[in-house]
Structure 1
Amino acid sequence: MPRLFTGLEIPAQTGLMLSMLRGGLRGARWIDPENYHITLRFIGDIDDRTADEVANALEKIRRAPIEICLDGLGSFGNGKPHAVWARVNPSPELKELQAEQERILQRLHLPPERRKYTPHVTVARCRTSTNEDVAKWLSERGGFEAPPFLAGRFVLFSAKASVGGGPYLVEEAYPLAA
């Protein structure tokens, strides 16, 4: 039973810049640079037949390449931080790609995503970090920006059932070349 999600890959140069953010946050488990990505839609644990249906349905998407801009840092966690991330500018093109995938997956009777889409690249998972630790880390690195890059494809990733952070495998790749 694969655990799947769709996403955009991060170029090596951008990954290097993100990796320079590592350190200085007590209680953090840093994501390895080869596992950086922008999640478009988490699918979850599904059977092989449904996985094949998902892979085939995603082939119908026809979109142009998307310019991706990383500009800023933030954290997730309601009361207790659980991740720190680099912000991805939510361009209309990126939101439209994500929304199209959401519609396709719902047509396959997969449950809808309940959270509002917030494009980001997770840099670390916060195991025992406090709000104060995260606030200090963010304030010291808050002006983060990376040069824009062009996403020429989106991918269907698989992940091991774990606490997140990889390793992630590319199962299928779909060109953005409409």
Structure 2
Amino acid sequence: MIRAFISVNLTPGIRQKIGEAERDFDMKGIKLVEPSLIHVTLKFLGNIEEAKVGEIEAALKKVSVRPFKARMRSLGGFPNPRNPRVIWVGAEGDFAELNKQVEALMEEIGFPREGRFQPHVTIGRVKFPTPEQKQDLPGLFEKYKDFDAGEMTVDSIHLMKSTLSPKGPRYDVLKEIPLAR
């Protein structure tokens, strides 16, 4: 069994800019995501049989979204900036349509649909909110509301393997699927 998800992986330049912004959020109780691991999750698959990789790849090749320009900008917190559990950077572009098609194709091969999709990249998780965080985070979100990590062309999606360890997760590309031309 392998733990898997489907993503759009970001360019090194965008990851670097996001990593620079992350430094302001490096405080007790917040677990930041290593910049090299930042991505847009289209669908989390969970634990799958390794033999299912070919079937998933074949289904993903049916995605009919054409390559598109995407921009990673703005920064906020889910469920809200006053009491965030997740710190995110917004992902602009044709992600909603891409997610819709991925969800439909994965449902056809036995993966249940997930709930509402909000295109973003997770840059941190607030584990143990402190009074200082509750005071400081809204101001940081305001500081970064116009944050712009840059633009990229989304021309492929990735089937990823996630390996969890005490040092943190490691992500490996199992399959890269080009978008329709």
**TM-score, normalising length: structure 1:** 0.86
Residue 12 (structure 1) aligns with: 12
For 2:104, give the aligned amino acid: R
Bigger Cα displacement from structure 2, 104-113 vs 20-29: 20-29
Mapped to 2, the partners of 1:141 and 1:63 lie a distance apart of 31
Where 1:101 maps in the other structure, the secondary structure is helix
Q: CA RMSD in A?
A: 2.2
Mapped to 2, the partners of 1:105 and 1:177 lie a distance apart of 18
1:11-55 per-position Cα deviation (integer Å, ceiling 9, x unaligned): 111111101112333221221111011111111112223333212
User: Which has more strand, going by share of residues?
Assistant: 2
Matched, 1:55 2:57: yes
1:64-119 per-position Cα deviation (integer Å, ceiling 9, x unaligned): 21211122111124785221010112x3x3211111110011111211102x1001
Asked if 2 retains the 8 angstrom alpha-carbon contact of 1:66 and 1:94, the reply is no
Alpha-carbon distance, 1:162 to partner: 6.5
1:151-175 per-position Cα deviation (integer Å, ceiling 9, x unaligned): 1211001112469x63211110011
The structure-2 alpha-carbon separation of the partners of 1:51 and 1:39, relative to structure 1 and needing over 3 Å to count, comes to: same
Matched, 1:144 2:147: yes
Aligned residues: 174
Matched, 1:66 2:68: yes
Asked if 2 retains the 8 angstrom alpha-carbon contact of 1:2 and 1:51, the reply is no
For 1:6, give the aligned amino acid: I
Residue 128 (structure 1) aligns with: 128
Mapped to 2, the partners of 1:106 and 1:74 lie a distance apart of 30
Where 1:169 maps in the other structure, the secondary structure is strand
Query: Identity percentage over the alignment?
Result: 25
Residue 36 (structure 2) aligns with: 34
Where 1:24 maps in the other structure, the secondary structure is helix
Asked if 2 retains the 8 angstrom alpha-carbon contact of 1:9 and 1:36, the reply is yes
Mapped to 2, the partners of 1:167 and 1:135 lie a distance apart of 31
Which runs of 5 or more residues in structure 2 are unaligned? none
Residue 103 (structure 2) aligns with: 102
**TM-score, normalising length: structure 2:** 0.85
Residue 169 (structure 2) aligns with: 166
Mapped to 2, the partners of 1:129 and 1:122 lie a distance apart of 17
Mapped to 2, the partners of 1:132 and 1:101 lie a distance apart of 39
Where 1:61 maps in the other structure, the secondary structure is coil
